[in-house]
Amino acid sequence: MIGAMASHDGYLLDNRQVEAGTRFTAMAQLFDPVTFRHVDRLGIGPGRRCWEVGAGGPTVPEGLARRGADVLATDLDTSWLPADGPYEVRRHDLAADPPPDGGFDLVHARLVLVHLPARAAALATLVDALRPGGYLLRPAGGGGPEYRRGAGPAPGQHRRRPARPRTRAAGRRVGPPVGLRWGQGALSAAA
């Protein structure tokens, strides 16, 4: 069954699959409330420039645009993003392309780095795209902004202890240790 769902190149989560729309809806229902709690706490709104990396579906770029932000939504496959939406849509390969010009107040990359073999290089690209004081947000694990360029901690966060990624659920390991703490060290190295 899994083989039948894979695209012609073997990638299971290809946006060209008919199931992609259902997947985007489920992910939005699960993750958007957390994402927008962080976005609102950070004061993202009019006058802020945001890069939605690996957008997939339209819910995050639309939510950022509704808050008045200037939004660039990128993905390898932009077919699920309306060309006439209230934000710019661009094809972008995080593993191969430089960051878009101009700098960003918010870079949101939910569940993107897990798909890339060269995560450290991709993370450095995301950090390089931040304006001074800009935020990198990867909220899929429930944590808040992981990085704020050239400034102290994000509002509501303390400098003493970074949030610990969750690797266990209900007393059972969720999966093999895939470097969930890797991001913290990689962010320090990328800064």
Residue ranges per structural domain of the chain: 31-150+179-190
What would the CATH number be for the domain defined by 31-150+179-190? 3.40.50.150
CA 36 to mean position of chain CA atoms: 12
Q: How far apart are CA 140 and CA 127, in angstroms?
A: 18
Reading the chain (191 residues) residue by residue, the pLDDT tens digits are 233 333 445 544 555 666 666 776 777 787 888 889 999 999 999 999 999 998 888 999 999 999 999 999 999 889 878 989 999 999 999 999 999 999 999 999 987 887 788 888 998 999 999 999 999 987 555 455 567 776 555 544 444 333 333 333 333 333 333 344 445 555 555 55
Distance CA 92, CA 87 (A): 15
Q: How many CA atoms lie within 13 A of 119 on its CB side?
A: 16
pTM, entire model? 0.71
